[in-house]
Structure 1
């Protein structure tokens, strides 16, 4: 008497075992002996557990969202535009016809790295009633401005040196009034630079005029900011300090940072307008400044318009300073500004040396009829040049995304269990069939019965068809 082979009573499951592409299933249920079926079952279980553990690590890695940065260097063979250069006098201009208290308030509003960082905010703001109601630009910009003593721009060896003293425009920043070359307000842009090195670029000689510009924080000199022409200068974030009696050589390299991930919830440059900063590219800093100017212009608040690039259009007066103080203090608390997904900046390398010396000292001294000591205490030199005609773009993206996850899932499922997409479809078909069987058992039995009857009558049907064909030929 032979042993009966193990058979599962469910027809759907039997069909699945006979035809499935999942490795080992057939041997588990159709093995020659119980020992073989047991060994195959144990091996399948071990493979399943191992695959589950490995897949768990894959999902964990995917949830961590690892990133990678790719660097691409773009060669600018036809030259590249010269950047904007903003210079700020760290010595604050004091308007002669206002009190010291009002002057201190103006300094902390428009000429402080922390706006109102050092002022007593609990103290009531008061403006002298006897003081004339000056406009904002009159308080911040001196009528006789000798800050930029000399400016020259050199493009290439065969080109003439272009004098550019009149190409600077005043710009209101958190560090006070600064002067920008080749910025948003500039009507004529600097030409493309086709050469690099210290001999070619922007050369400035500045006079900080310490006798009329006070040093509130005990620091004398200037801040130099190199930025894109459509970007807002940020002297409190990216400024290079230069003391009087010094020369600084600033070599710059253009760089772009691009974030293709969603970790910082960044914003595209064209997704948000800056109505109070027309022509300025979006940045988190520019967005916050725009929010500040919007709050100042609110009719229910200060009703005071500030245009940092066109100060002549400003409508703020001396009596608005107390309102400005309150808004400058509160504007950053509820900011909704997000960082940009892509922005341009400049890598900077700078070196210092003594200035002026020799012939330069004599020429400056004779031109303004002053002493050597005055020149040493008030004059300094700045040179800005390109180090390379190239742009380095750094792109940050996810290193393990959906595509990598699916590839790893498919590889591990195939390695441990031999499962593919076809195998998954086979399992889904089995599940659907079993559900149909549970929900409609009578209909399923009837279908199986009809199917069995068709299978049983196949020989008789074939024989009957052959007889019919022979009879048809005979009649023909």
Structure 2
């Protein structure tokens, strides 16, 4: 198809404005930062932290206000973080109390029973067969296993040297005499002290499960049901005295030393009663170091209702201060406990200072035992100090002896009954073959049982953890400044870039060249905009319209006409948006209908397009929504022979799309 060019006036509406699209394609938004100021601007615009954007873009009073608010929030955040970190690094702990029920029963503790009379009269008579054991010497020997602090405070120093010399003379005459052997053999045997025992109402042989122990009270007997007794005796399965342990003991007061008939007169200034003292303690532990002890006199019945208390402490690795093992310089076979550690610590101090250790501190028996005179003399010469006119002993602090991490103790609630009724006297006479008088003067009944079938556990736990501290810090960061881990990353990157610019010459040169390149791009953008505005100006439109006159009254190929004025875009017209069709004229017509009408009229198959001098622009740029109206373009056949005489116009659905 060909199109005849017409006058400039008729072709004005066929103008196609050429826009430098390629220039726009190469213009991109520059995000590079050319200086610290632009980097700060970029950070303020993109950061998730609250405040920087308002400060950077604020002006005057608004900026000062936000600086004040953000500064106060930052100060409060730093204060809170410092407080939280101080609390965390102080390693706080708290106690957690638990009540634990043992469905299979409660493990029964060990019980150590001692007679207040540490030495039998019959043994002293046998020992003094030679007649050279005086009462003063015997008393001096029995003071060996007494508490060293009690001996230091109560012994008469005027007679101490003389008594010590007499004891030394006795030792020289009896070279086989040993103080520990003396204490082990001078006391009561198990069969002499225990008449019978019951556990859970079942009778058993006490001495079968007893172990001999030497304490400050002399020879004692320990009942260890956990390690020596059969399975049924190891646990109490129900609360109450009927399910616990009962021991019937004999004080054997006829064997007590009274200073009669020439016997040695042993005076025990720390004992004011007859009878027994028993200790309830964990198996394998030192009775005197782990329990206070309970006393009972003859002709009495005592009921000890016990509760188990377990302590679980944290070691140093877990913010605690307990110890699970002995310190390095301690070499002992005993299980670790704080009380045993302090005893051995003092024993070592005495041994280093005096060459021996008091009996009460020498709990593992590895050191030489000090005689009373040796202990007091050493303390007077090396440990006695004066403070404000008061004498006191300077002993080691033993700071290395921390609490054991796991320990068990027993709390007892004691009640007593005085005397025996007739039925109990008859029963005791039957099982012991003792007289009623002997029973009233010597026999005591000890009942030990669990009050309840659960125990209390005190556990030391960490008061906080790293997770909790981080959660608290994160909560404060979000509350004061809206910060998170992402914000911290942004701040890190921001400051790293700032410091890089400050200290790196290469970075500064790069930023300088990048800034220059950025200015060049901006200049290109300005030039493109100016060119675009110039092309849209009225003056430029007149020049384009004048150029159309070159085709006036000539028949030119439609391809040539289209090449100069059509929309030059490789994309399909169907894929272009409304914005892409700005200032584009679009002709739509039915080819078959056009061919039919051309054939009906006298023409050479040539048509021309006639344009009105003024056109009405549609209200919408969307061609699909543009409704049909009176045709604006008119296509009419044209004969080469009579080109000046127009044929009747061909009217069809031809439309214009122009913005």
| TM-score range for the pair, normalised by the shorter chain length | 0.7 to 0.9
Q: 1:302 to 1:24 in 2, by over 3 A?
A: closer
The correspondence of residues 204-223 of structure 1 with structure 2, limited to 5 A, is: 204-213=247-256, 215-217=268-270, 218-223=272-277
Question: Relative to structure 2, which stretch is displaced further, 39-48 or 327-336?
Answer: 327-336
Q: Which residue of 2 aligns with 1:194?
A: 237
Structure whose CA Rg is larger: 2
- CA-CA distance at 1:310 after TM superposition: 10
| Residues 174 and 236, structure 1, Cα contact 8 Å, conserved in 2 | no
CA contact (8 A) 1:295 1:327 kept: no
Offset of 1:164 from its aligned partner?
A: 1.7
SS in 2 for 1:93: coil
TM-score with structure 2 setting the length: 0.57
Q: Displacement of 1:179 after TM fit?
A: 1.2
Q: Which of the numbers 97, 101, 104 marks the counterpart of 1:78?
A: 104
Residue 167 and residue 11 in structure 1: after superposition, are their counterparts in 2 closer, same or farther (change >3 A)? same
| Equivalent position to 1:171, from 213, 228, 243 | 213
User: 8 Å contact 2:343–2:361 — kept in the other structure?
Assistant: no
CA deviations over 1:120-154 (Å, ceiling 9, x no partner): 49654542403534222223433653652323232
User: How far apart, CA to CA, are the structure 1 residues paired with 2:52 and 2:454?
Assistant: 61
Distance 1:309 1:192, change over 3 A: farther
Instruction: Please tell me whether the aligned partners of residues 261 and 396 of structure 1 are also in contact (alpha carbons under 8 angstroms).
Output: no
Distance across 2 between alignment mates of 1:184 and 1:273: 31
Which residue among 83, 95, 109 is the counterpart of 2:144?
Answer: 109
**Structure 1 contact 283–339 (Cα < 8 Å) conserved:** yes
Query: For 1:402, which of 466, 470, 478 is the aligned residue?
Result: 466
| 1:139 is the counterpart of 2:183 | yes
1:283-362 paired onto structure 2 within 5 Å: 283-291=337-345, 301-302=355-356, 333=396, 335=398, 336-362=400-426
Q: Quote the offset at 1:111 in angstroms.
A: 3.6
Name the counterpart of 2:486.
422
For 1:59-70, list aligned pairs within 5 A.
59=85, 61-62=87-88, 65-70=91-96
Gaps of 5+ in 2: 1-33, 258-267, 384-393, 525-569, 571-659
Evaluate the alpha carbon distance shift between residue 297 and residue 28 of structure 1 in structure 2; reply closer, same or farther with a 3 A threshold. closer
**Contact 2:145–2:360 (CA under 8 A) maintained in structure 1:** no
Question: Which residue number corresponds to residue 265 of structure 1?
Answer: 321
Provide the residue aligned with 1:254 in structure 2.
308
Alignment of 1:270-285 (within 5 A): 276=332, 278=333, 280-285=334-339
Q: 2-side partners of 1:150 and 1:48: how far apart?
A: 80
Higher helix content, 1 or 2: 2
TM-score (norm 1): 0.76
* Matches of 1:74 and 1:291, distance apart in 2: 35
**Number of residue pairs aligned between Structure 1 and Structure 2:** 443
Gaps of 5+ in 1: 1-6, 461-469, 471-476
From 128, 135, 160, the counterpart of 1:100: 135
Residue 472 (structure 2) pairs with residue 383 (structure 1):
no
Cα shift at 1:201 = 2.1
Q: 1:224-267: CA deviations, max 9, x gaps? A: 21112122212684212223332111222333101126576210
Could you say if the C-alpha distance between residues 80 and 141 of structure 1 is closer, same or farther in structure 2, counting changes exceeding 3 Å? same
1:320–1:66 Cα change, 3 Å: closer
Does the C-alpha gap of structure 1 residues 270 and 296 become closer, same or farther in structure 2, counting only changes over 3 Å? closer
SS at match of 2:510: helix
**Structure 1 stretch 347-356 or stretch 199-208: which is displaced more?**
347-356
Task: Tell me which residue corresponds to 2:63.
Answer: 37
Q: What CA distance in whole angstroms lies between the structure 2 residues aligned with 1:23 and 1:174?
A: 74
Tell whether 2:505 aligns with 1:412. Answer: no
Alpha-carbon distance between aligned partners in 1 of 2:243 and 2:468, rounded to the nearest angstrom: 48
Question: Given the alignment, which residue of 431, 435, 438 partners 2:502?
Answer: 438
Would the aligned equivalents of 2:107 and 2:226 in 1 still touch at CA under 8 Å? no
Asked if the contact 2:348/2:357 (under 8 Å) is kept, the reply is no
SS of corresponding position for 1:110? coil
- Give the Å deviation of 1:185: 8.3
TM-superposed CA distance for 1:74, in Å, is 3.1
Q: How far 1:26 sits from its partner (Å)?
A: 0.6
Distance 2:483 2:134 in 1: 84
Against the structure 1 CA distance between its residues 233 and 327, is the aligned structure 2 distance closer, same or farther, given a 3 Å change threshold?
farther
